[in-house]
Structure 1
Amino acid sequence: MAGALLVDSPNYSAVSDNYLSNGTLGDKDDIRDRELLILRLGEQYKREGKTKELSQLIKDSKPFLSLISKAKAAKLVRTLLGLYLTSSANPEAKVLLCNECIDWAKSEKIIFLQHFLETQLIVLYNEAGMFSNALALSTTLLQHLKKLEDKHLVVEVQLSESKTFYALSNLPRALASLTSARAAANGIYCPPELQAALDMQSGIIHAAHDQDFKTAFSYFCEALEVYNSIENPKALIALKYMLLSKIMLNDPGDIHHLLNTKLTLKYTGRDIEAMKSVAEATRKRSLAAFQLSLETYKDELENDEVIRTHLKTLYEDMLTHNLCRIIEPYSRVQVSYISEAINLSAHEVEKKLSQMILDKRFNGILDQGSGVLISFPEKPVDRNYDATLPIVQSMLKVVETLYQKALKI
């Protein structure tokens, strides 16, 4: 069979010239065989990690795709490109190939495929850190999709747009895009994976924008249940975010119970151990243990932007509280003593103390010449001004009322 020849052939280019690029088509069986051969070869390249060959297969298949129906061609391109986008190819190569497929879809006037590929391209732009490109494309694409009333793609694009704004630290715009995506999703059937993605992003935004980790935890829990039901690997990420929420809520004791439920028992490994280690360090209020956890599980904790951001905030809060507890009894205390007590370098302690003084979280000065922190007594707050302001405002209203009555006389 020609299919066996194509898959097993050591010289793919020769076979593709004679078979895939053949300008003539046989009966329906011939067309089906060619489609099957292309898919099998693509899956083989994906399994073997041959990303260049997979990319070339997509390009070499275009002459054949131009000879079959647009619906079949679109399905084949989506499948092959999906294999390539989930491969180990670098982000720049994925962006380049996706753009080439979009150009092909435009030339063939397959509009629905073009819009689908542009939606995927926005995701790729986000992964590659090309956020300005992602925003420009999402703005243009949303205008076309709303005219066509393609609400499913509208939801996906607005979700990607929310992720772009989050990456740019524009939380109000990220929340606005997410709200629009959820509103559009309410009017259509939302596939489980897309619904889980909406819940995941909702949890991330609530945690970042409002510091509402209780609500974020519930969203992450919903995402975990859906991802777990469809056996999506993102279930582990949702579970890590749930554990992060418990840590940020200063409730690390619940983590042991959470990890022993029927839903979470099967999730083990370094990712879970990393979160348990951070939770234990938080419970002990130990900065040394916290830093050790970050060093031991660096890949698991720092490669995720959400976890890295919140753990940095948690570390800064722990450091501030520990410093305040150490220096509270003293009016003058040596920085070297604080450094030894908190098990950090003198440079780090000085930097943090300077920041606390500038932020007015500590009333004092650093005498760097003698290496001493001098604290000033808190000035008593005069409450008379606060008490006087409402009286003045009330008197102003009385005067305005009398003035209005005088005008009527």
Structure 2
Amino acid sequence: MAVESSTKAVSAVEKSRDMPSEKAMEFLYTVVRRDVDSSNDEGIKEKEQAIQRLGELMFENKLKDDLCALVKYIRPFLSCISKAKSAKLVRNLLDLFLQLDSETTSAIELCKECIEWAKAEKRSFLRQNLESRLVALFLASSQYTAALDLGSSLLRELKKLDDKALLVDVQLLESRVYYKLGNVTKSRAALTSARTTANGIYTPPKMQAGLDLQAGILHAHDLDFKMGYSYLYESFEGFDSVNLTTSASLALKYLLLCKILQNSPEDVSALLTTKLAQKYHGEASEAMSGVATACKNRSLCELKEVLASHEKEFSSDDVVRRHLDHLYDNLLEQNLLRLVEPFSRVQVAHIAKLITLPQDVVESKLSQMILDKKVKGILDQGAGVLEVFDPSTSNQTYNSSVDTIKAMGKVVDGLYLRARKLS
């Protein structure tokens, strides 16, 4: 009877696969709306599979509102199946909805509503999973205080239990929140805790890729681009293995950024021609390729054009924006050093004209470079002139004399000690 029941349950879903999308959803709606007796195992299994398939079709057709309504509609039916199955079904449907809508108040409200329902039904495991998703939603919507408050209370609860996989997820989210807030020390500590917990369990490729991505970002923040590149490449391959296109594209973007910051912009084009990277060719990779070309040519004008043409791509990413600001400053310094090198006295207005930047910006940058001792000279602001000093050479005779005097002092001290012993 069990084998026969399974065949019939699968047949309804399999039948829908041969239909056009709209007709398949209509057919599955009839199955989902059908009342099923709690003793009818065959009907329960058929309805469970129909709900899952209907959610997938709604996701494929981007029916966000219908998917939200489905999550709420199936709640009475969930009492007919085990808590483990019902939790899995709710999580799957909610994940599909969040992929369509992850940064709006409707997603947060739906998640909160599901959490309240789980509390009322006393489904602690499901509630904890939903709360971890809510932390991620708070992070995506820049509600960092709410994310930290909920994450901290959830961490205290999870540490008393044995669900280490969920603990790793929440610790990783905490690390990302702290990084967004600019607290790199706490971000690094949270990531270390997550990696330590992950060492004691099997970590799925998606989770490991997420840990590697955050590790790569933090190493790049510390200007250790070689180690950051290594972690980001592992992350890129991990996300690709589980077909997470958005995350893989993000890892590739940071990967290319590390190559540029390693002063190897010529390697970017070679990296983009690999079979793996070609799958994720898009606006992000094009923007980073443009930055690499500008750095290779040491052209500040080209870099400004690339930043202007891909402003949305760069401004929406804190990691890229922070490093590109540093890159822009370095490239500006290199260009200014190259321009002032032939002169001993030059007008600031002339330098500004050559580099095509406002005079006040150039003057401010030159002042900073003089204070940082990257340029030896002075700014005569009254005349609007930069005076560059000739490089001074160290006097080796003076250095040798000082070394000789020190050595003689040691000899005299030694003779004095011996004379005292003899006396």
Compute the TM-score of the two structures, normalised by the length of structure 1. Answer: 0.82
Q: d(CA) in 2 for partners of 1:270 and 1:322?
A: 28
Task: Report the equivalent of 1:43.
Answer: 56
> Which range moved further: 339-348 or 100-109?
339-348
- Tell me which of 352, 361, 378 is aligned to 1:339: 352
Structure 2: which 5+ residue stretches go unaligned? 1-10, 17-22, 414-423
> Which range moved further: 228-237 or 172-181?
228-237
Matches within 5 A, 1:345-364: 345-356=358-369, 361-362=374-375
Q: Provide Cα deviations, 1:27-61, integer angstroms capped at 9, x if missing partner.
A: 12222233233333333332333322322222222
Contact 1:6/1:37, CA 8 A, preserved across alignment:
no
Q: Provide Cα deviations, 1:157-183, integer angstroms capped at 9, x if missing partner.
A: 111111111111111111111111111
Task: Report the equivalent of 1:104.
Answer: 117
Task: Report the equivalent of 2:244.
Answer: 232
Task: Report the equivalent of 2:416.
Answer: none
Q: d(CA) in 1 for partners of 2:42 and 2:198?
A: 40
Matches within 5 A, 1:265-276: 265-276=278-289
- Tell me which of 192, 216, 224 is aligned to 2:228: 216
How far did 1:265 drift?
Answer: 4.3
How far did 1:357 drift?
Answer: 5.2
Task: Report the equivalent of 1:54.
Answer: 67
- Tell me which of 140, 143, 158 is aligned to 1:127: 140
Match status 1:162 vs 2:175: yes
Label 1:95 to 1:337 Cα distance change in 2 as closer, same or farther (>3 A): same
Q: d(CA) in 2 for partners of 1:266 and 1:50?
A: 27
Matches within 5 A, 1:4-403: 7-8=25-26, 19=33, 25=38, 27-88=40-101, 90-208=103-221, 210-233=222-245, 234-330=247-343, 332-356=345-369, 361-362=374-375, 370-373=383-386
Q: Provide Cα deviations, 1:179-208, integer angstroms capped at 9, x if missing partner.
A: 111111111000011111111111100000
Label 1:379 to 1:102 Cα distance change in 2 as closer, same or farther (>3 A): farther
Amino acid at match of 1:97: L
Task: Report the equivalent of 1:402.
Answer: none
Label 1:57 to 1:339 Cα distance change in 2 as closer, same or farther (>3 A): same
Q: d(CA) in 2 for partners of 1:163 and 1:89?
A: 16
Please give the secondary structure, in 1, of the residue aligned with 2:277: coil
How far did 1:280 drift?
Answer: 1.3
> Which range moved further: 104-113 or 299-308?
299-308
Label 1:139 to 1:75 Cα distance change in 2 as closer, same or farther (>3 A): same
How far did 1:279 drift?
Answer: 1.0
Contact 1:51/1:89, CA 8 A, preserved across alignment:
no
How far did 1:372 drift?
Answer: 3.4
Q: Provide Cα deviations, 1:247-296, integer angstroms capped at 9, x if missing partner.
A: 10101122233334444344433332222221111111110111112123
Task: Report the equivalent of 2:418.
Answer: none
Q: d(CA) in 2 for partners of 1:53 and 1:261?
A: 40
Please give the secondary structure, in 1, of the residue aligned with 2:100: coil
How far did 1:356 drift?
Answer: 4.0
Amino acid at match of 1:8: E
Contact 1:49/1:88, CA 8 A, preserved across alignment:
no
How far did 1:122 drift?
Answer: 1.2
Label 1:90 to 1:173 Cα distance change in 2 as closer, same or farther (>3 A): closer
How far did 1:342 drift?
Answer: 1.0
Contact 2:271/2:277, CA 8 A, preserved across alignment:
yes
How far did 1:374 drift?
Answer: 5.0
Label 1:286 to 1:173 Cα distance change in 2 as closer, same or farther (>3 A): same
Identity, in percent, stands at 45
Amino acid at match of 2:176: K
Contact 1:23/1:63, CA 8 A, preserved across alignment:
no
Q: d(CA) in 2 for partners of 1:83 and 1:232?
A: 13
RMSD: 3.4
Q: d(CA) in 1 for partners of 2:360 and 2:387?
A: 17
How far did 1:323 drift?
Answer: 1.8
Q: d(CA) in 2 for partners of 1:365 and 1:95?
A: 57
Please give the secondary structure, in 1, of the residue aligned with 2:346: strand
Label 1:223 to 1:308 Cα distance change in 2 as closer, same or farther (>3 A): same
Contact 1:282/1:290, CA 8 A, preserved across alignment:
yes
Q: d(CA) in 1 for partners of 2:40 and 2:92?
A: 23
Q: d(CA) in 1 for partners of 2:305 and 2:362?
A: 18
Label 1:2 to 1:238 Cα distance change in 2 as closer, same or farther (>3 A): closer
Please give the secondary structure, in 2, of the residue aligned with 1:264: helix
How far did 1:245 drift?
Answer: 1.0
Contact 1:7/1:37, CA 8 A, preserved across alignment:
no
> Which range moved further: 37-46 or 156-165?
37-46
Q: d(CA) in 2 for partners of 1:246 and 1:284?
A: 15
Label 1:107 to 1:301 Cα distance change in 2 as closer, same or farther (>3 A): same
Task: Report the equivalent of 2:419.
Answer: none
Structure 1: which 5+ residue stretches go unaligned? 399-409
Amino acid at match of 2:267: D
How far did 1:302 drift?
Answer: 3.4
Q: Provide Cα deviations, 1:85-111, integer angstroms capped at 9, x if missing partner.
A: 111364322111111111111111111
Q: d(CA) in 2 for partners of 1:285 and 1:2?
A: 63
